[in-house]
């Protein structure tokens, strides 16, 4: 298997992740939440306990050992601060021991919402024993699942706002959830088609996936790699332009595109696409996301824009959470030192 084919396999496997066993679907009644111990404050009520029009619930599953979960915690903290006065209740469940969770919150990262230790896996099993984490559910006041997905998804906050305003359309949500399940089925069919080098089937599956989920980045990137695999490299620049145009209004897609493009072999990166996607992600976040600013600074530095990298990193330091400021500051110092070294080299006399 050549390297490009291997890249596609890794992307497919990463996207699909572990299947969710017996997980509740949009429109279903939310399972019970059983907690052995509340590590932070106990919520005033739980989903489904009683009809409660005053609240909308965000139920998240996470773990202290999960790096993606640690990325979502600051975002959830912002969501909590922004919407708690409107009735949002965030409940974060880990199946780790209470002492492990408490030590994490005390020493590493504050979680200003309700955090509980699962009661002998009862909650995890009820909500989807094999779910990938972090994973979040939005639940209505009367205990109905409205949305399920990654807590950094653009759709999560939109769902919260609609639910709190009483404007959420459950039937539309069911239709979208059905489309998502179909998308996952197509993704599962894609791996054997790629392995078999079945060009027609590969591109048919990818086009159908894009039609179902036009703001999902992965099929666009897989199609680019498959163009290379099938000797269609001359079409890639136009496809990259199509990708950017299709996804330019999605913060998640732009952030992920910049991140993944930077991880590619440097000989195969599209420098223009890399910078454009990072700049657009920063624009969509109103220059208020420390992680996106740090990513932009890194890309600017690598492209030789050291002064702009320093300016972006200074903004990132100002916005960083308390526990991250030291790291962000060290990165800034690195860029400043790099600029000084570059200037020294410029003024050296040749020979």
Q: Assess contact for 39 and 98: CB atoms under 8 A.
A: yes
51 and 143 housed in the same domain: yes
- Does some domain include residue 303? yes
User: Domain limits at 332?
Assistant: 249-345
* Percent of residues, the chain, with pLDDT higher than 90: 72
pTM: 0.69
pLDDT digits (tens, 9 = 90+) for 33-47: 999 999 998 998 898
Q: Is the pLDDT of residue 4 over 70?
A: no
The answer on 256 and 131 residing in a single domain is no
CATH number at residue 317: 1.25.40.10
- pLDDT tens per residue across span 64-114: 999 989 989 999 999 999 999 999 999 999 999 999 999 999 988 899 999
Q: Specify whether 162 is located in the same domain as 273.
A: no
Over residues 298-311, the pLDDT tens digits come to 999 999 999 999 99
Q: Tell me: the pLDDT tens digits for 322-342?
A: 878 999 999 999 999 999 999
Domain boundary (115, 149, 168) is at 168
Task: Quote the number of domains for the chain.
Answer: 2
- Domain final residue, candidates 151, 168, 185: 168
End-of-domain residue from the set 168, 203, 224:
168
pLDDT tens string 213-271:
898 999 999 999 999 999 999 999 999 999 999 999 999 899 999 999 999 999 999 99
CATH number at residue 78: 3.40.30.10
Task: For residue 200, give both structure tokens.
Answer: 């027609």
What stretches of the chain show up as alpha helix (H) in DSSP? 3-16, 67-83, 98-107, 122-128, 154-164, 170-195, 199-212, 217-229, 236-247, 251-263, 271-284, 290-302, 306-319, 325-346
Asked if residues 30 and 24 have their Cβ atoms less than 8 Å apart, the reply is yes
Residue 51 pLDDT level (bands cut at 50, 70, 90):
low
Does residue 80 lie within any of the structural domains? Answer: yes
Q: Same domain for 256 and 159?
A: no
129 located within any domain: yes
In a domain, 124, yes or no: yes
């Amino acid at each position: 298997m050549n390297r490009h084919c291997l890249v596609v396999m890794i992307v497919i496997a990463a996207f699909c992740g572990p299947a969710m066993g017996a997980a509740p679907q949009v429109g279903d009644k939310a399972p019970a939440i059983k907690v052995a111990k509340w590590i932070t404050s106990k919520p005033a009520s739980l989903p489904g306990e009683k009809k409660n029009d005053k609240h909308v619930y965000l139920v998240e599953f996470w773990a202290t050992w999960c790096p993606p979960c640690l990325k979502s915690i600051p975002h959830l903290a912002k969501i909590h601060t922004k919407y708690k006065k409107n009735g949002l209740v965030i409940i974060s469940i880990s199946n780790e021991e209470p002492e492990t969770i408490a030590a994490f919150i005390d020493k590493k990262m504050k979680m200003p919402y309700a955090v509980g230790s699962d009661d002998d896996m009862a909650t995890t099993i009820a909500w989807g024993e094999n779910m990938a984490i972090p994973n979040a559910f939005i639940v209505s006041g009367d205990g109905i699942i409205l949305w399920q997905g990654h807590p950094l998804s653009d759709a999560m906050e939109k769902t919260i706002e609609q639910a709190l305003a009483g404007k959420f359309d459950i039937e539309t949500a069911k239709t979208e959830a059905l489309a998502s399940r179909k998308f996952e089925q197509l993704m599962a069919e894609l791996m054997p088609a790629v392995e078999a080098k079945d060009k027609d089937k590969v591109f048919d599956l990818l086009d159908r996936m894009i039609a179902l989920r036009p703001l999902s980045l992965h099929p666009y990137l897989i199609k680019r790699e498959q163009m290379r695999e099938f000797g269609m490299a001359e079409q890639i620049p136009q496809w990259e332009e199509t990708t950017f145009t299709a996804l330019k209004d999605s913060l998640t897609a732009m952030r992920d595109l910049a991140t993944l493009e930077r991880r590619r072999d440097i000989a195969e990166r599209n420098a223009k696409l890399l910078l454009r996607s990072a700049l657009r992600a920063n624009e969509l976040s109103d220059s208020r996301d420390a992680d996106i600013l740090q990513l932009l600074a890194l890309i600017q530095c690598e492209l030789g824009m050291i002064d702009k990298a320093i300016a972006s990193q200074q903004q990132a330091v100002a916005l960083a959470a308390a526990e991250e400021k030291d790291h962000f500051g060290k990165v800034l110092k690195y860029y400043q030192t790099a600029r000084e070294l570059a200037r020294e080299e410029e003024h050296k006399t040749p020979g």
